[in-house]
Amino acid sequence: MKTWAKWFRPGKWHDLPLAILAQAGRVGPLNIQIVSDVGNVRSNNEDSAAAVYPENGSMRVDRGMMLVLADGMGGHNSGEVASRMAVERISKLFFGGRGEVLDRLKKAFHLVNTEIYRAGQEEPHKGMGTTCTAVVTIGDALYVAHVGDSRAYHWREGQLTRMTADQTYVQYLIQTGTLAHEEANKHPKRNVLMQALGAAATVEPEVSCKEGGAAPGDIIFLCSDGLYEYLSDDEIKTYLNEGADRADTAREMVDEAKRRGGHDNITVVLGRIQPLEQDTALKNTQEFLENSKPNP
């Protein structure tokens, strides 16, 4: 049994069969790349990331699919525990819940914040916490929930849009006009979080919906600060522009961040919605091969 199991609430949350993809693969129309690297300095990886979806196909159409990333913090491997709790519990609570999509996301974040906070009151995980960014695709809509400074982006036809705002002290200074954008990356408090799951008894996740955000050819991109500390938004966009069809784009970005320093754990989740023409070509190829089989 996992060490945090005693903080789980019993009930139907545990009854919904979910599949968890933690590396690379294809689920429905979504081609997924997940790369998580310890970096060049840290001794353990406190990031967690996954694509989570109901095993039942009809329920997957109704409930969608979640891409989720968490960046943990705390000594004695507590950050690793907190980030795994966030990824596993938020997805479980969301897919097992009832109500509107954004309400279910909010509730899942609130409940998991309480679980991590309570677990963090006791040794050996005292004071642990984690960021968490989740994007749910249902139909052509994207639903986003976010706490901390991990990021979610949407890429379409060469244009990259950030769907989350960093919940950091530096971002607060920028929003209040106290600090210029170009000074943010060098500010000594750029990594100070205003919110994190488990850091306080309550939390207020930012949630949003992007209708029409899941069109064929689009890319949903999540990353921890270990990536964007070294790669700017423009550089991320260039990688996606040039490598949208490649299977190693996420790995290339992580390797470049390591080459430039890699002082932190680095995690990337890349989900590309398969273009319609590729789906059609695949179907036609399969039909051709099927029809080409010799008759018995």
> What digits encode the pLDDT tens for the residues 230-258?
999 999 999 999 988 889 999 999 999 99
Q: Structure tokens of 134?
A: 């989740």
DSSP state of 149: S
Measured between alpha carbons, how far is 291 from 189 in angstroms, rounded to an integer? 64
- Considering only 7-21, 46-60, 65-79, 177-191, which range has the smallest mean pLDDT? 7-21
Average pLDDT on 72-81 reads 85
User: pLDDT tens digit string along 83-102?
Assistant: 999 999 999 999 999 999 99
Residue spans of the domains in the chain: they are 16-231+239-292
DSSP labels for 210-277? ETT---TT-EEEEE-HHHHTTS-HHHHHHHHHHHTT-SSHHHHHHHHHHHTT--S-EEEEEEEEPPHH
State percent of the chain over pLDDT 90.
Answer: 69
How far apart are the C-alpha atoms of 248 and 78, rounded to whole Å? 30
Range with the lowest mean pLDDT among 63-67, 95-99, 167-171, 275-279?
A: 275-279
For residue 203, give both structure tokens.
């939390």
Between 225 and 173, name the one with better pLDDT. 225
Ordered DSSP codes for 36-75 = EE-TTT-SS--EEEEEEEESSHHHHHHH-EEEEEEEEE-T
pLDDT at res. 184:
66
Structure tokens at 279: 């789906």
Cβ within 8 Å of residue 206, ≥6 positions away: 144, 145, 146, 147, 164, 165, 167
Is a pLDDT exceeding 70 seen at residue 291?
A: no
Radius of gyration of the chain (CA): 20
Query: Coil, helix or strand for 195?
Result: coil
pLDDT digits (tens, 9 = 90+) for 114-160: 999 999 998 889 889 999 999 999 999 999 999 999 999 999 999 99
What is the C-alpha to C-alpha distance for residues 4 and 176, in angstroms, rounded to an integer? 39
pLDDT at 112 over 50: yes
Give 16-231+239-292's CATH code, choosing from 3.60.40.10, 3.40.190.10, 3.40.50.150, 3.40.50.300.
3.60.40.10
Average pLDDT over residues 291-295: 48
